[in-house]
Amino acid sequence: MPVAIVTGSGGLIGSAAVRRFAQDGFDVVGVENDMRARFFGPDASTARNTRDLLAAYDTFHSAELDVRDRDGVERLFAAHGSAIELVVHTAAQPSHDWAASDPHADFTINANGTLNLLQAARDHAPDATFVFTSTNKVYGDLPNHLPLVATDTRLELPPDHRWHGGIDTTMSIDRSLHSLFGVSKAAADLLVQEHGRYFGMPTVCFRGGCLTGPQHAGAQLHGFLAYLMRRVVTGEPYTVFGYGGRQVRDNIHCDDVVAAFAAFHAAPRCAAVYNLGGGRASNCSMLEAIALCERIAGRELAWTLDERARVGDHRWWISDLAAFERDYPGWSLTYDVPAVLREIHDANAERWEAMVAS
């Protein structure tokens, strides 16, 4: 049976990857140590996802391992060797706000951890597809210099702008403010590309923005749709940071992300890079997201605006999906923002309400 190694296997994208590739006939080895609970507190723990996956799939095995542990990563890859056909690397310190509180931890997890995995794959399974979940933060704050126009509910690009349909990978990653998180992920992104070009390994960087889904352990510093819906359901207050709440994000469901992984693995390339998000089909501003959550939950949100935007935060981001759709025409989005929010609500509302009541 072919082996897929999935790092961050208890997280949003990692757990979706476990489900997808276990169902596709892989023996899936998860790498997970629940760092998310240490980053964002016990409510953000991924332990429940890991327990559910172990109960659901006999072909899933979870290794408690930190990607910074070079020797441990080496032993894991050596144990499975050439049976490894796929590596899905989703483990990360994911918040640009948190990164400033501990730059060493952020960089060693995101950059050094990625290097450990790449080298282990090169040594033991150089033909395995290596999928890396990068981020649009590698572009720094360059999107904030776009000529955006404010409407009642959002910021928007003029229709005749080259990136109105979405930002593509021709946007520079230079001469911009990245946040320390953006820097550590950019270093990892370049390492993945270089292993593809220099060593001929099949690698891909998917530069995502807001990745979401019902199993997302949303926290204030990361995972805004899940966290926002939770606050609406529980009646807890919510703070919007900057831009009058008109900042725009495209949002992509975790299953659509993992479907892109599967499509790439079926026909891999060396050193591929794609922007991956909801594109023009699935995006919203903060104000629009609040209104949608209130409509779905049937409750109003008590929210306030903090005029201070978060460092490195984007005013507007919509991904251009054309390059990936051209290279992998069998892939397409299956969710939009209302469908994502409805699923998040229906999967979690009862549990969230019970947690508050207790």
What is the per-residue pLDDT across 96-152, written as a single tens digit (0 to 9) for each? 788 899 999 999 999 999 999 999 999 999 999 999 999 999 999 999 999 999 999
Radius of gyration of the chain (CA): 19
Percent of the chain with pLDDT over 70: 97
| pLDDT at res. 218 | 62
154 has pLDDT over 80:
yes
Backbone angles phi, psi at 88, to 5 degrees: -115, 110
| Phi/psi at 169 (5° precision) | -80, 5
Q: Strands 203-208 and 27-31, how do they pair?
A: unpaired
Element (H, E) at 322: helix 322-327
User: Domains (ranges, CATH) in the chain?
Assistant: 3-352 (3.40.50.720)
Counting Cα atoms < 13 Å in the Cβ hemisphere of 77 gives 24
Q: What is the mean pLDDT of the chain?
A: 94
Chain centroid to Cα 322, Å, comes to 19
Cα 91–chain centre separation = 10
Q: Which of 9, 304, 266 is nearest to 133 (CA)?
A: 9
- Residue 68 and residue 74 in contact, taking contact as beta carbons nearer than 8 Å: no
pLDDT, position 209:
87
Looking at residue 217, its pLDDT comes to 66
Helix 286-297 to helix 224-234 angle (10° resolution) is 40
The pLDDT tens digits of the residues spanning 244-284 come to 999 999 999 999 999 999 999 999 999 999 999 999 999 99
Summarize pLDDT for 196-255 with one digit per residue, the tens.
999 999 999 999 989 999 987 666 655 689 999 999 999 999 999 999 999 999 999 999
The residue type of 3 is: V
- Cross-strand partners of 206: 133, 274
Beta bridge partners of 251: 210
Yes or no: say if 320 and 275 are a contact pair by the CB < 8 Å rule.
yes
* In contact, 163 and 236? CB cutoff 8 Å: no
Over range 310-338, report the average pLDDT: 94
Beta strands in 8-123 (DSSP E): 27-31, 60-63, 84-89
